Structure formats: C-alpha cells, structure tokens
Amino acid sequence: MDVPPLATAIEQLTDELRRLLPDDKLVVDPLRRLAYGTDASFYRLVPQLVVIVDDEAELTTVIQACHRRGIAVTFRAAGTSLSGQAITDSVLIKLGSGWRNYRLGDGATTISLQPGIIGAHANGYLAPFQRKIGPDPASINAAMIGGIAANNASGMCCGTAQNSYQTLQSMRVVLADGTLLDTADEASRVALRASHGDLVDGLAELARQVRADDALAARIRHKFKIKNTTGYSLNALVDFDDPFEILQHLMIGSEGTLGFIAEITYRTVPEYPHKASALVFFPDIETACDAVTALKPAPVSAVGLI
C-alpha cells in the first residue's frame, strides 16, 4: 500500500475527524499548535494537528483513523514532562476535561483513576482514609495520572518500592489499532487472546527467552533495583509469566508509545498522620553515608545529603 506524504495524510485525517467530532475538538490554527509545541522541556516540535479527546469513544475514533493512515500520535496529559515526551510534529492527542472519574475499592486500599486526574487530587480522595497513591513526583500538584503512569514518575519518597510499576493492580488500555483491553476483566482478556493471539503469545515467549538467559535476566534485575525510567520497563519480562501482567507493566514508563492508559487501578499506600523531619550534622561525608545504611531499617521515607 502506498502511504501518502504525512502532510497529505494529516489533511485527509483532519477532514475525516471534522465529520466525526465536534469542531472544538480539533486545533488547527498555527498559534495554538505552536503553544502545544512545548512541554516543560526545552524542546519544541509543533504538532500538525491537535485533537482534544474526552472519552474512550472519541479516543478510539482518533486512534483508529490515525492507525489506518499510519500516522504517529503522541498523548498529552498535563504537559509537565521534562524530556519532550509530550510534544510531536505529527498528531498530538490531548486529554480534555472528561477523564476525571475515580472509584475507591476495598476500604480505599485500591483506587481506580482516569488519566486526567491530577495526582494531588487522587491523594485528596484518599486522604480521609489515611491512604495515598504510591508515586510522588514533585510535580504532583499539576501532573496527571496518565502522565505519571506513562512516565513511571516518582519523587523523593516512593523510590522503586511504591512507584506506578510496583503499585499497579490493573489497567484499561487502548492499543494502537483501537482495541480495548481491561486487564481486570476476564472476558476482556479472553477477547484479546482471540483477536491478538500473536501479541499475547509473543509477550509470554519473549519473557521465557529473557528468563532463560541468566546473564540478561540478572542484568535487567540489577538495572531496575535503582530508579530506572530510561526505555521500557523490561523488568516486566523477568518479574511476570502472565502475558497480561507483562503487557500492563510494560505500559508503565512507555511514554504513550505502546498504547493509551484509559484507567489505572493502583494499590494505595499508607499516608501516616504524624510525620517529622530532622536536620542532622555529621563531621564528614563518610559518617553521613554510614548513617544512611543505619537508617535503612527505620521508617524513614527519604534522606538528603546537603
């Protein structure tokens, strides 16, 4: 099949989307496209089209239309990414205000969140139960759940123990061809096996191959013992056998390149009512570092060396 040049493909896409979506969902004027050409990084890429989506139906329409034309898409939540993750010179799919539903589960030990919820708001819903979400980026007052999960963002306290990868329970994912998978729903898993058997079996096989290679598996485990958000969460291939667990954990940190996170259910973590901080002076760096090791078994969330 001949693929038309990108500009032509995007013109055709724009015409099609004009018929399928309300006018105000498409941003085509140069000034606003320029404004969406930046995130919190120092890069600039001006999108040729910005589409604002408010629910799964709109998202699926846009993704399928782009997929049919081979047009790359980039998602944008709050746009606070520091390395250009939320910009593109192709089509930018921006979360509108429609993605803000949430559900608490089992005494707030879990929370299901749509991707447009700001991280601090999720913590606000959990605060009466003395719970919070695990990931704690410093941008939590602005960053949204979709971006937090897709970047595997974490801050001073959560480390690698309570990030999105470790606290993920289940996810609704829209794949590049518009297929929806709800990993919490057995019927949805069965349907994906039927429609995308190669993908499901391929993931299981890939994980088997990686685990069979002792040196590679050990290297991956070692790399992910400390914070590592560079590239995909390859630790999913050594941590899980179940292809659905592998798939949803690969989504974490994938920066929107593997699919769209339409909902995520996190296992929540305790939010202690009493907290304290201390400034401690040491005679030298070595003694200060020894104190870090000594503090490890204590309930200390973070230490900083000044």
- The residues that touch ligand FAD, with contacts defined as CB under 6 A, are 39-40, 74-82, 85-86, 115, 137-139, 143-144, 146-148, 150-151, 153-155, 255-256, 260-261
- Least spacing, CB of residue 211 vs ligand FAD, in Å: 27
DSSP 8-state code for residue 5 = P
CB-CB neighbours of 231 under 10 Å: 10
| Nearest-angstrom CA–CA distance, 201 and 229 | 26
First to last CA, the chain: 60
In 77-144, the DSSP E strands lie at: 91-95, 102-105, 110-113, 131-132
- Report the candidate in 51, 12, 13 with the shortest Cα–Cα distance to residue 33: 51
**Closest CB to ligand FAD among 113 and 237?**
113
The smaller minimum CB distance to ligand FAD, of residues 217 and 263, is found at: 263
Nearer to ligand FAD among residue 139 and residue 162 (C-beta): 139
Cα gap 189→194, rounded to integer Å: 9
In the bound complex, what is the minimum distance in angstroms from residue 263's beta carbon to ligand FAD?
9
CB closer to ligand FAD, 153 vs 203 = 153
Give the span between the Cα atoms of 151 and 136, in whole angstroms.
12
Whether residue 178 contacts residue 63, with contact meaning beta carbons closer than 8 Å, is answered with yes
Q: What is the smallest separation between the CB atom of 28 and ligand FAD, expressed in angstroms?
A: 20
Q: How far is the CB of 203 from ligand FAD (least distance, A)?
A: 18
Please report how close the Cβ of residue 66 comes to ligand FAD at its closest, in angstroms.
Answer: 14
Neighbours of 185 (CB within 10 A): 13
Closest CB to ligand FAD among residues 134, 146: 146
